[in-house]
Each structure stands twice: as C-alpha cells, then as structure tokens.
Homo-oligomer: A and B are copies of this chain.
Amino acid sequence: MRDRNCAFDLAMKECLGERGWLTRPEDKAAHARDWLDRYGEVPLGIARPASTAEVSAIVRLCAEHGISIVPQGGNTSLNGGSVAISPASVILSMARMNRIHTIDAADFTATVEAGVVLAHLHEKLTAHNLAFPLHLGAEGSAQIGGLIGTNAGGSHAMRYGMMQDLVLGLEVVLADGTVWDGSRALIKDNAGYQLRRLFCGSEGTLGIVTKAVLRLFPAPVARATALLALPDPDAALRIGALLRASTGEFLTAVEFFNEPGLSLLLKHVPHISRPLETPGPVYLLVEIATSIPEIELPDILDRALSAAFETGDVLDGTIATSEAQRAALWRIREELPEGQRLEGRQIKHDVSVPVARLAAFVAEASAGSERVLAGVRVNPFGHLGDGNVHFNLSPPEGCTDFEEREMQLSQAVYEAAVRHGGSIAAEHGLGQAKVELADRFRSTTERSLMRQLKSTLDPHGIMNPGKVV
C-alpha cells in the first residue's frame, strides 16, 4: 500500500510540480475538514491544477491508481460534500483555475473557470453594467464550480432560478479523464440530452466541472429594500402574495426569519443593531430591483407596503434609503447562521416545501421538535419566495446539548417537510450527510435511477465517492 501510494505521489509531483501537489500535513489540514468541522478524512494530498489538461491528467492518474477524487471549491458545503470519506483520496482544489475568460456584454454571457469566487465575478461584472444574479451568504468564498456542483440557490432564486437555470454551457472532465466540451453560449440547444443540467447538482460525482458559460443580466439600475415586522408566518405568506401581485417582475427576494434568530444574532455578532422598534415575531426582508431607468421603484414599494400596513399584516417596517442601509439589512439576514453557530451546538436542516405550505410546515416542524425535546429553540429562516426553509435548532435555554435526541429531532423536521410535499434537500445538496436520508425519504425507483447514472458515468467509483448516492 505504502509503495503504491509512493508511486502515486511521485507521479502527481511530476505531473503537477511543487505548486500543484501539496502533501505537507499543514496543507492537507487546511483542506481536509468541512466548514462545520464535522466531516473529512485526511487525503493523500491536495492537487491544485492550473488547467483543464492538468485536471484530466490528475483524473487519469487517480483512475490508474484507484484513488478517489474530491473536487473542492470554497469548501463551504454544509453537508460534507467537498471533503473525503477515505484517506485514499486526493482533494482537487480548484483555486488556481480562477480566470474569467470572457465577459460578453452583447450576448450577456461570461465564460469562467470553475475556481472563480462568486463575489469576485460579481465585482468584475459591475464595470460592465452586468449582473450574475446568484446571491448567497457564502459568496465571498464559494466558487463557481462548487455552486454548479450543488446547484446552488440563494436569495434571488425566486426571480432568476437556481444555478442550473443560469448555466448555458459546461466543460467537464469525465471519470476516465476525457474532457466533454459543452461550453456553448446558447440559450436554445436541443441537440440531445441536456447534459449540462445533469452535471449541475451532481456534486462532482459524475465529472469535474472545469469551465462554465454563465448567463448574465443587465445590472439593476435601482433597488428598493425593506425590512418588515409581522405578527405571524401566515401574515408573511399573505405579504409574499401581495408583493408578487403588486411588484411583479421586479420582486427579487422575499427572505424571512424570526425573533429568536434575530436575538441570537444581536447577542453574538458585533456591529449589528436591532433594525426595528417593534419586535417581530416574524420578519421579512424584501427587495425589488429593475434595470429600466425610468421606473420609480420606491413608489411601487411604498404602494405595496401601504396596502400591507392597512390589512394589519405589517406591524412595523423600514425602507433602506442608501446602499449602506441596504447592505446593513442584508447583513442581518446573511449573518443569521453565524449568530446561531456562535450560540453553541446546533442542528441544521435545509428543506423546501411548496411556497403556500411554508407556515404550516414551520408550525408542524416546531411542534414536532418541541415534542421530542421540550424547550428546544427553533430558528427557521430562509427564502419565503421559493419555499426554502433553513430550519435550525439550538438546545433549550441553559442547555448545551440536545440530550442525544438529534436523530429524533431531525426526523420530526424532515417528516413534516415531506408531509407537506417538500424536499429533504433544498439548496445544499446531499453531500455525504444526507445520502441515507435520501435513501429513506425518496422512492427506491428514484434512488436506483441515480445509482444507475452514477455507475454508468463513474464505473470505478472514483469521483467524489460517498456523496449523493
């Protein structure tokens, strides 16, 4: 075994050079564990390819030596998707493949390497008056390749769709090292099966995304952003529907959270102050945006919110009047996970339900959790506009753990989601954390279809094994 690994190590070094193949313990440690430090075996080394050809060479070497390949972007997976399940693995860091090849303002496309950080792309596009409308808390670290791998969603998905809706073309290194070049900049391309859609969301288990052609949009010329305090989740659904009817095409985000979540945030994260005098119990962060210069967005939002105040569904609210205020409101939403993390132990669930079931789901999952562990603190937040709830739990006030009832608590949450026609995995993927869960909650037909696809495209099981299936 040792000799075999030694031969592999030499071959990788020869192939990638000193910068491209890291095996020092501290380098491995920097990549081995997931963001929540729950998963990750120490791999044989960290491969840092600088080109698609190098990725292809790595895959061939790994195939030859029976070594697993775990692609890793920003390593922000919440389900252990980007770390290894066995030491006989290579972590493939895409960090050096971070070039933006082209930004085409006439075609509204960008061609980028997989290692481009999302926030970096956002920034570059600003100068071109263009936007790539995927936004999520981790955008400062998350890379395009990883976002494609997990079919990321985020806070603007209600308007622009998920990553799969924003990817026009892909270049993918397959399990035998051959390169599929599907990096076409076409909106309509029906020459056979929609391969790019299949790879999107496959978490590196069917191939490694090396390049993508992304769909761009005109940059918004105006935005209006409001934070509202509401009496209950049902009111939130009514306001969501009202906004959809009255702000139409401009409605970009309807995010929700609750008072316990805000309290944890205010307790733990510095430089955030209570945004409204009246406490929730439920909050909505609403944003509308347009790329049409003449539209008076504040008027449109005012009109919509006046109607909402009149019905009594809004208790209090504030509209951002500067970009700094807007950023402050978004920061509240985006730091909610951090607030909860700093409180201590937590159980995270990323689920979705049909939008109109959101309030009923939250009520049922909360009651179910309470039945399992009296006093457990419920912190649901997420994307009301698309039915995606991050239903997170903290131990009862004064307790440091869940009295070993994590499994039952999760069971209660997932069962409630499925009962309401929902999914046990909304936007974070399955990774390694949710494979069993998918086997339990999805039909054998569905799971078997997925296993068939996996074994067809990765017959030797070297592509990010233990994830998805």
Contact = CB atoms under 8 A, between A and B. Distances in A.
Interface stretch (A116-124, A189-197, A224-232, A261-269): A189-197
A194 B245 contact: no
Contacts of A426: 186, 188-190
Interface in A166-180: 174, 178-180
A291 interface: yes
Contacts of A174: 445, 449
B445 A456 contact: no
A179 B355 CA distance: 26
Contact of A247 (B187, B198, B292, B446): B292
Interface string A429-466: 11000100010011101110110110011000000000
A25 B237 CA distance: 56
B197 A352 contact: no
A192 B468 contact: yes
Contact of A165 (B165, B178, B294, B427): B165
A421 B184 contact: yes
Contacts of A353: 186
Interface in A351-404: 352-357, 383, 386-388
Contacts of A290: 248-249
A125 B48 CA distance: 53
A194 B388 CA distance: 17
B427 A190 contact: yes
Contact of A300 (B294, B354, B447): B294
A189 B355 CA distance: 13
A50 interface: no
Contacts of A184: 421, 423
Nearest to A383: B188
Given A178-B445, A249-B249, A290-B249, A198 B193 contact: yes
Interface residues of A, number: 92
Nearest to A244: B218
A270 interface: no
A153 B186 CA distance: 12
Contact of A191 (B153, B158, B189, B425): B425
A108 to B, nearest CB: 8
A210 to B, nearest CB: 14
A112 to B, nearest CB: 16
A149 to B, nearest CB: 10
A150 to B, nearest CB: 7
B165 A161 contact: yes
A356 B104 contact: yes
Contacts of A106: 237, 241, 355-356
A188 B162 contact: yes
A186 B249 contact: no
A157 interface: yes
A199 to B, nearest CB: 9
Most buried by B among A150, A181, A197: A197
Contacts of A445: 174, 178-181
Contacts of A241: 106
B188 A387 contact: yes
A107 interface: yes
B303 A429 contact: no
B188 A352 contact: yes
A469 to B, nearest CB: 7
A190 B150 CA distance: 7
Contacts of A206: 193
23 contacts: A107-B355, A107-B356, A162-B187, A162-B190, A184-B421, A186-B354, A187-B386, A188-B388, A188-B423, A189-B426, A190-B201, A190-B423, A190-B428, A191-B424, A192-B430, A192-B442, A192-B450, A194-B197, A194-B200, A197-B198, A246-B293, A250-B292, A294-B303
Interface of A: 104, 106-109, 150-151, 153, 157-158, 161-162, 164-165, 174, 178-182, 184-195, 197-198, 200-202, 206, 218, 237, 241, 244-250, 290-295, 300, 303, 352-357, 383, 386-388, 421-430, 434, 438, 441-443, 445-447, 449-450, 452-453, 456-457, 468-469
Given A186-B423, A193-B450, 10 more contacts: A104-B354, A107-B354, A107-B355, A186-B352, A186-B353, A189-B423, A191-B438, A248-B290, A449-B457, A456-B456
